[in-house]
């Protein structure tokens, strides 16, 4: 178990003269590293490099679980938003596109037993 950010995406990074900083720590928690790794990369070379640097052998099952969890959370947020009365504003079409992309991503997730 390690301290995880929960949402380590570019929107939660601030670049300064001394480097990058993760902000918006409202979802911080103790969890397996795959909680954050699942959002950061699916590149085998980067995951190998992570293992070399940390000594942690990542779990493919945990990565799949946390990726699926992320998609399901997004899906719930979109459904909540679109089922409420709303207007066609500058956020509507990008949200609708993201909603559809989330549905597509859920359809192509591996369903290993």
**pLDDT for position 113:** 43
Residue 111: φ, ψ to 5°: -115, 55
**pLDDT for position 87:** 85
| 8 Å CB contact between 34 and 55 | no
pLDDT per residue over 7-55, tens digit each? 998 889 999 999 999 999 999 999 999 999 998 988 999 999 999 999 9
Q: What is the band of 109 on the pLDDT scale with cuts at 50, 70, 90?
A: low
**pLDDT for position 56:** 92
Does the structure show a pLDDT above 50 at 111? yes
How crowded is residue 57: how many other Cβ atoms within 10 Å of its Cβ?
Answer: 8
Distance CA 9, CA 43 (A): 15
**pLDDT for position 80:** 93
The 3-state secondary structure of the chain, one letter per residue: CEEECCCCCHHHEEEECCEEEECCCCCCEEECCHHHHHHHCCCHHHHHHHHHHHCCCCCHHHHHHHHHHHHHHHHHHHHHHHHCCCCCCCCHHHHHHHHHHHHHHHHCCCCCC
pLDDT per residue over 69-99, tens digit each? 989 999 999 999 999 998 888 988 999 999 9
Does the structure show a pLDDT above 80 at 112? no
pLDDT per residue over 64-76, tens digit each? 999 999 899 999 9
Domains of the chain in sequence order: 2-107 (3.90.1200.10)
């Amino acid at each position: 178990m390690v301290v995880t950010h929960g949402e380590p995406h570019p929107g939660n990074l601030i670049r300064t003269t001394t480097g990058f900083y993760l902000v918006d720590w409202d979802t911080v928690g103790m969890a397996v590293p795959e909680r954050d790794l699942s959002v950061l990369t699916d590149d085998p070379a980067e995951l190998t490099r992570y293992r070399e640097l940390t000594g942690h052998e990542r779990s493919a099952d945990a990565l799949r679980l946390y990726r699926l969890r992320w998609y399901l959370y997004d899906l719930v947020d979109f459904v909540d938003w679109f089922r409420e009365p709303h207007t066609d504003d500058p956020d509507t079409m990008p949200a609708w596109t993201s909603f559809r992309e989330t549905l597509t991503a859920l359809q192509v997730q591996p369903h290993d037993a």
